[in-house]
Structure 1
Amino acid sequence: MTYRQLLEELASNHDISVGYFSQGGQWIDVSDATLEYTLRALDVNLSAEPDEDELTNRLYLDYLARSSRPLPSAVVAPSGTEKSFNVHVHDGASALVHVALEDGGEREVYQDANDSAAVPVDDTLWGEATFHIPGDLPLGFHQLVLRSDGFEREYTCPLIITPQRLSTADKFVDSPVSGVMAQLYSVRSEKSWGMGDFGDLGELAEVAAREAGADFLLINPLHAAEPEPPV
């Protein structure tokens, strides 16, 4: 694998996006430097100038850490989604999981097939099991609870159920408005001092409403300033 491929895999393991779509619809790759910086910010131990061997070793250590982690750091799912997740217990031990709702109630989860081989970590074999949550959980900040006869205590992690979509802007989508944006200091007239003032702002608002049918005029924040060069 190339350096970039190793870096993207490591970033993805830590839920870091490796690219995004621009406003124009083009895919933009996040730079190597940004991915490295973000990984360090998440306490991933990387040197100042990592190479392929270091990334390969870090991926292996991450694999061992994940293979011996009882629950994920968090599980996030949109409402109506049966989101799956993995748990890890000592090989051969039981794995009992349920949802503790934020209102105090409980819900069951469902186990899926998982044929992953046990992984030795620090002289202990760890097995993996896969579960999924039901799709009718209420919105909120809940918890997944794991019990196993191989552990002396139970483990928990946040389970966050989000809306499928935000509806707070629906009224603006249904009844859109339009307007004009201008930096007031860039609005000049023959009456001003070479930069826009409140008189220019009033005239601009009048023209925008009359000529462009504008519903609003968006300007920069206004605060006291001293009229001296270069402003």
Structure 2
Amino acid sequence: MWSLPMFHCNGWTFTWGVAARGGTNVCIRATSASVMYRAIADHGVTHMCCAPIVFNILIDGAQLAGIQRLASPIEVLTGGAPPPAALLEKVETLGFHITHAFGMTEATGPALVCEWRSKWDSLSGEERARLKSRQGIYVLSLSDVDVKDAETMASVPRDGKAVGEIVLRGSSVMKGYYKDEKATAEAFRDGWFLTGDVGVVHPDGYVEVKDRSKDVIISGGENISSVEVETVLYRHPSVSKRR
């Protein structure tokens, strides 16, 4: 089921996968809870892709319609913004099974995917959601991903704490911006494509986005991740969505 425009990164790569598996594309004209839940029931939807904001629509709509859980689970590929772990935990209780990806047009679509490990199945819902909120490991079309100090281009420690800029390289990364040498030069350094996203690398090698570099809050000389602030807010029972 499509809740994304097919010209979006997540949208057009998903199109190929559905065609390759001989699936049926269920298109909707409005991203509203009533339309999506009706399509799910009428067409037996098994997969969908969406931006994290759609989870708010699904959660609120389920409450209004008295839906406790879907009749059958739905596999969901989400990306486009770092989803708070609390939001993933809420939507998964409805029967949506989330796979989190990170990508951009410059990398020909998805570049990282939070590949699930069976040993995590026994963890609590809160802990599983925390792991799923990470962007993950690089896909096969890339040769490498790293998190580097923007000044020195040295790799940051893989401790889940040291922050740096997420960088990519591989055959699926663009050669440059069309007829824009200045932007191309600014986007690459030492053979790496600079994503503009600030993140960390966990000891297991999974990357987690902490913010866009331009969205980092500086207060009292400290760098504060707006994503972490958002995650805390989402855990408050009175908060349902960003305003």
Q: TM-score range by the shorter chain?
A: under 0.3
Q: Which has the higher helix share?
A: 2
Larger Rg: 1
Given the two structures, how large is their TM-score scaled by the length of structure 2? 0.25
